[in-house]
């Protein structure tokens, strides 16, 4: 019985370690934008689109793709809605992908100012899991 309890605790710790903590996500996203993609002819929902990559170029970053009409001036303010066809995002974290989901309680609010300072708050679903989320 003692072995079973130790095994379960170790197993839980191993699986729980895969989900980044809010501080880990914030630390990476605080690095700001490291790439912007505006390829001619690139669209989302048949509208001209832009992709922004925030974080570190080491397998831990947030990719945002949205219609250019959402970008006003030097600032970007988005409220992620999984049902918005003009907005898509994914958080890639050491081989795992987290997304907005229409089947789960997920959300994301993004503010990026003219100095590339990014401010995020959200809850994203881990693709391929039954019920795992990252909150930041």
pLDDT (tens digit, 9 = 90+) per residue, 62-119?
898 888 877 666 667 778 788 888 888 999 998 999 999 989 999 888 887 777 677 7
Q: How far apart are the first and last CA of the chain?
A: 37
HSE (side-chain half, CA atoms, 13 Å) at 59: 5
Phi, psi of 59 (to 5 degrees): 90, 5
Whether 6 is covered by a domain: the verdict is: no
Whether 122 is covered by a domain: the verdict is: yes
Whether 3 is covered by a domain: the verdict is: no
Whether 84 is covered by a domain: the verdict is: yes
Distance of alpha carbon 30 from alpha carbon 33, whole angstroms: 9
Domain containing residue 59: 20-135
Whether 87 is covered by a domain: the verdict is: yes
Q: What token pair was written down for 22? A: 């809010």
- Contact predicate 108/88, CB 8 Å: no
Number of domains making up the chain: 1
Whole-prediction pTM value?
A: 0.76
Whether 15 is covered by a domain: the verdict is: no
């Amino acid at each position: 019985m003692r072995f079973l309890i130790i095994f379960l605790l170790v197993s839980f710790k191993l699986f729980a370690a895969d989900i980044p903590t809010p501080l880990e996500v914030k630390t990476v996203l605080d690095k700001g934008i490291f790439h912007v993609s505006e390829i001619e002819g690139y669209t989302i929902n048949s509208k001209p689109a832009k992709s922004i990559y925030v974080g570190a170029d080491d397998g831990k970053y947030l990719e945002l793709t949205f219609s250019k009409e959402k970008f006003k001036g030097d600032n970007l303010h988005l409220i992620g809605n999984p049902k918005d066809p003009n907005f898509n995002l994914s958080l890639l974290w050491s081989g795992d992908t987290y997304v907005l989901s229409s089947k789960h309680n997920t959300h994301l609010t993004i503010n990026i100012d003219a100095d590339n300072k990014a401010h995020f708050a959200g809850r994203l679903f881990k693709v391929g899991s039954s019920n795992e989320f990252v909150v930041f």
